[in-house]
Amino acid sequence: MRIRVYGTLLFLLFSIVPAEAAMTIDAYYVAKKSNDSKWFKGYIGGIGQGISITNASLKIDKKPVIFCLPDDKIFDADDYIELIDDYLDKNSDKLEHDYQINMVLLLALKEAFPCSGSLKKRGLSN
């Protein structure tokens, strides 16, 4: 019985996340409906943190940033999920279902938090 349960869990894991560990839009919807919200939120939160750290690194290096988050908000997995969902609702007709969810989140952040043209906001001024 345990082998059957573990086999089923392994099958679900590998069917949700492709071998290269990039979650597609289709896999996102499947994972979001799964009972393993801790794993799902950890995965999405990790993507969001990675993107945000990369953006902050650009700012530190005085290079143009991709998006400008508000200074008074700390983002968590739920915030990233909401951004993804909103972006998919508005743009689902433009995206293929095998499009990677990390790119969707990047586009969602860029759309939701655009930077003005000022050098300071773009990370190019002291």
Average pLDDT of the chain is: 82
pTM for the model stands at 0.75
Tens of pLDDT, residues 12-58: 444 444 445 689 999 999 999 988 889 999 999 999 999 999 999 99
Helix, strand, coil percentages, rounded to 5, for the chain: 60, 0, 35
Q: If you ran DSSP here, which 8-state letter would residue 114 be given?
A: -
